Amino acid sequence: MIVGTRKPLEEIKAMISPYKKVLIVGCGTCVAVCLVGGEKEVEVLKNELSLAMGDKISFDGITLERQCDKEFLEQIKDVADQYDAFLSMACGAGVQFLSEVYPEKPVFPAVNTTFIGINRAVGWYEERCRGCGNCVLGITGGICPVTMCAKSLFNGPCGGTNKGKCEIDENQPCAWYQIYERLEKQGRLDQIMDVIPANNWENQRPRTVIQPGYENLYDTSSSK
């Protein structure tokens, strides 16, 4: 899922201060699961802001199923005119799509989108993927060297492995130490005996995916 953290209240207050009526828009998917931008968090932020801003700004809250889907964004079409700004609690994708669907409306993010990660325990999330576009997990024992190695080495470990931990943080395991251990246990060390060549970084420009079988539905020649 996409994991985020709530922006500091002061930063949010500064962004919305010129407006009178603000709709706080939550998102019911990733950010709800990671406890930062779902229904409950919308309510909490609404209360905090109402208390902080007094009667200078009035707030309403609504949580959409997903802000990365036009169908759900259109659910607030009828009420949009009542507000002079939106405060989105979605990830960066949701904030951008909300802005695109309501281009005349100022939209502000209440969340810092942080990473693609996993749920380790209640309220505890860890990054696992940078979306580089060329997945090597099949070679590296299911541990991502781009994300989990602080230097994104494809042919690690570097010389700074520190008792199995990363040299930059003693609480962070060395990704390549783990890759080695896992592949050794599985008898697959041969997979990393050859040099993994320079990566083709796909995440250096905005990307579009149209899944096979759907190409005919869209005229992509004019879209870019």
Partner 1 sequence: MYKRNIEESSKLERVLREGHFAFTAELGPPRGANIEKVKKKASYLKGYVDAVNITDNQTAIVRMSSLVTSLLCLEEGLEPVYQMVCRDRNRLAMQSDILGGYAMGIRTILCLSGDHQKFGDHPQAKGVYDLDSMQLAAMVKKMRDEGKFQGGDDIDVPPKKIFIGAAANPFAEPYNWRVYRLAKKIKAGVDFIQTQCIYNMERFKEWLKRANDMGLTEKVYILAGITPLKSVGMARYMQNKVPGMDVPEELIKRLKAAGKEKAAEEGIKIACEQIEEFKELKGVAGVHLMAIEWEHKVPEIAERAGLLPRPEV
Q: Which two tokens stand for residue 184?
A: 């050794």
Residue type, 89: M
Nearest residue (CB) to partner 1, 94 versus 141 = 141
Distance between CA 148 and CA 181 in Å, rounded? 15
Q: Which two tokens stand for residue 96?
A: 């951008």
Q: Please list the residues that pair with 19 across neighbouring strands.
A: none
Any contact of residue 191 with partner 1 (CB under 8 A)?
A: no
Nearest residue (CB) to partner 1, 205 versus 224 = 205
The single residue listed with the structure tokens 């997990």 is 137
Nearest residue (CB) to partner 1, 162 versus 186 = 162
Binding mask 111-150 for partner 1 (x = CB under 8 A): ---------------------------------------x
Nearest residue (CB) to partner 1, 51 versus 195 = 195
Any contact of residue 200 with partner 1 (CB under 8 A)?
A: no
Question: Which one of 103, 138, 159, 187 is in contact with partner 1 (CB under 8 A)?
Answer: 159
First to last CA, the chain: 28
What dihedral do alpha carbons 9, 43, 96, 18 form, nearest 10°? -50
Q: Which two tokens stand for residue 224?
A: 């870019």
What dihedral do alpha carbons 125, 130, 135, 138 form, nearest 10°? -30
Distance between CA 66 and CA 38 in Å, rounded? 10
Binding window for partner 1 (CB under 8 A); candidates: 28-36, 88-96, 136-144, 172-180: 172-180
Question: Which one of 51, 121, 122, 193 is in contact with partner 1 (CB under 8 A)?
Answer: 193
In whole angstroms, the minimum distance from the beta carbon of 184 to partner 1 comes to 8
Question: Which one of 35, 129, 181, 191 is in contact with partner 1 (CB under 8 A)?
Answer: 181
Query: Which residues of the shown chain bind partner 1 in the complex (CB under 8 A)?
Result: 150-164, 167-168, 174, 177, 180-181, 189, 193-199, 201
